[in-house]
Chains A and B, each alone.
Chain A
């Protein structure tokens, strides 16, 4: 197994999770609309719709964040590193990746402990719609664990490539140009 094969496989995996998150956004619009309409026209309350939306938002964020990081689309400031020579960019990138791995690992550890506690003590969400707190909460440790892995891959990218910033730039700009292209295609 080479680094590239592993990288591609993991990217596909995170893309699938992001697609799941994207579907949740669509589903969320549907159930919120359903809730509003039934409340106005049939006087039916669906308290779960509100809670479910809040939990979905957490899941969406943490399911999609790893893929977004794979595509280097988390906002970052490139103004300084752009003027540095590639060799320095590379060393800086390695250092930053190492710090980020540590940060995400610590987060996984602390949020993981919290999740296990919620599970063992059987903590429920203090809402009308009572569900175990661990269900919505486990999105956080799972997401953090995945982010740790992505930063490890990023470290690998910085270690192996001579000009990693240029590589990341092409990956990020690949999907940024998309909207205009689509619009033109569809309008034509």
Chain B
């Protein structure tokens, strides 16, 4: 038996694991642990008032407002058909290059993919709509399934990303900085994907046979650009306002929602049905995510109050490992957790333990958060257990799981290359946020 804090920690995580595997909704698993922990470790029913206070203060935060609003904006774009317009325009511009549809789907993923913050839903939706389209054109899973899985990874990095906001809130770092920091790594990843798909389609044309799309004239291209210019400017404005410090992410998100409604009305696409479904989708994900924040905040408090956090941090610093090794270990843990549990649950379990360590090691929390964000997405698509692979299998029943594994592999490798690049050149992450500081 180790020291007392090791037993405490083992007890907490054991109970948590039990809760999660029993199929209890994650937020309530955390709340159960909080109540048990507070009662037995801090003494009696009186200590539960800590939870009563934090259940209000942990979510009554202006910084969390982008979660419902980014999701609402993304959903409105999708349901009013404005997002489709964007993909069409991208398609016109991509033109007659090899692997055109894969490139369009990665481009589309970049623009609106997982705005919902839930890459599972995004893969489910894109997988069930775009893959059949590509299969019809003779695309093999290596091109079609790959490009959908790739799009999900982009969407969590490039703002507006609701998952990024959630991570920022849990890690207690500046959400504006975190969103800005994701831009360059996101663009880098997109470029690598584009390069990969174009190269693969050139080398193995049978994977993505060129089809007879009517050639697009320059006029059509300009017209396509004209029709989506307001849409593109919407994304640029929302991100730009945050970047230039004109508005906080929450304020940008609110204006983004209003602008999206106005745009949809101008395009004649604003239907009551679309607004209602988008609002309900936003409220569903918001309630889910924020309740999970309530549970996780209690968990951090519990770890801190029982002394487990500080004991863990001092033990880790006594190990005297190079910080880079610690970062690798923490990333490996995320990857392993990803075999069993979904993105949000991984964040909740790991962030309260990781962030104190990161701070003790003197690492840049923003840089670390971006690494974790990439790793979270990677965990979802890594064979054999990545959850997104099973979601894809779920919506494309006729594909064998081995085909999906093969399709995911190149994407996994590209993301590992990205992680390596971000670790070798932290400037890719830190450059843009440093520009926003006076």
Contacts and interface: CB of A to CB of B under 8 A. Distances in A.
Contacts of B128: 177, 180
A186 B269 contact: yes
A156 to B, nearest CB: 17
A175 B283 CA distance: 13
Interface in A61-115: 61-62, 64-65, 67-69, 71, 73-81, 89, 92-93, 95-96, 99-100, 103-104, 106-107, 110-111, 113-114
Given A18-B283, A65-B287, A81-B22, A179 B251 contact: no
Q: Which 8 A-B pairs have the closest CB atoms?
A: A32-B254, A74-B25, A64-B287, A22-B279, A29-B257, A187-B81, A61-B290, A81-B23
B32 interface: yes
B322 to A, nearest CB: 34
B234 interface: no
Contacts of B251: 32-33, 35-36
A157 interface: no
Interface stretch (B184-192, B207-215, B338-346, B401-409): B338-346
24 contacts: A18-B284, A18-B287, A25-B68, A25-B279, A26-B72, A29-B258, A36-B251, A36-B255, A50-B62, A53-B250, A73-B288, A74-B25, A76-B26, A77-B21, A80-B21, A96-B22, A106-B48, A137-B56, A165-B23, A175-B280, A176-B121, A178-B277, A179-B79, A179-B277
Interface in A20-71: 21-23, 25-26, 28-30, 32-33, 35-36, 50, 53-55, 57-58, 60-62, 64-65, 67-69, 71
A16 B62 CA distance: 25
A182 B56 contact: no
B26 A107 contact: no
Interface of A: 18-19, 21-23, 25-26, 28-30, 32-33, 35-36, 50, 53-55, 57-58, 60-62, 64-65, 67-69, 71, 73-81, 89, 92-93, 95-96, 99-100, 103-104, 106-107, 110-111, 113-114, 136-137, 139-140, 165, 175-180, 182-184, 186-187
Contacts of B24: 76, 96, 99-100
B52 A111 contact: yes
A103 B32 contact: yes
A61 B294 CA distance: 10
Given A23-B279, A53-B250, A140 B284 contact: no
Contacts of A57: 59-61, 64-65, 68, 290
B304 interface: no
Contact of B60 (A54, A79, A106, A180): A54
Contacts of B55: 107, 111, 140
B27 interface: yes
Contacts of B238: none
A93 B281 contact: no
Given A68-B287, A180-B129, A77 B20 contact: yes
Given A22-B280, A64-B283, A140 B292 contact: no
Given A77-B21, A186-B79, A32 B284 contact: no
Contacts of B27: 74-75
Contacts of A71: 284
A119 to B, nearest CB: 14
Given A76-B26, A79-B340, A180-B128, 14 more contacts: A22-B283, A32-B251, A54-B61, A80-B21, A103-B32, A114-B53, A137-B56, A175-B281, A179-B125, A180-B129, A182-B274, A182-B277, A183-B84, A184-B129
B287 A60 contact: yes
A64 B284 contact: yes
Contacts of A23: 279
> Taking each of B53, B55, B275, B341, which has the highest tally of chain A beta carbons within 10 Å of its own beta carbon?
B55
Contacts, number: 221
Interface in B284-301: 284, 286-288, 290-292, 294
B23 A76 contact: yes
B59 A103 contact: no
Nearest to B118: A75
B146 interface: no
A106 to B, nearest CB: 6
Interface string B43-78: 001001101110110011110110011001001001
Contact of A29 (B247, B254, B286): B254
B177 to A, nearest CB: 20
Contacts of A111: 52, 55-56
A30 to B, nearest CB: 7
A176 B116 CA distance: 12
Interface string B1-41: 00000000000000000001111111110011001000000
Contacts of A19: 280
Nearest to B395: A177
B228 interface: no
Given A30-B258, A110-B49, A93 B23 contact: yes
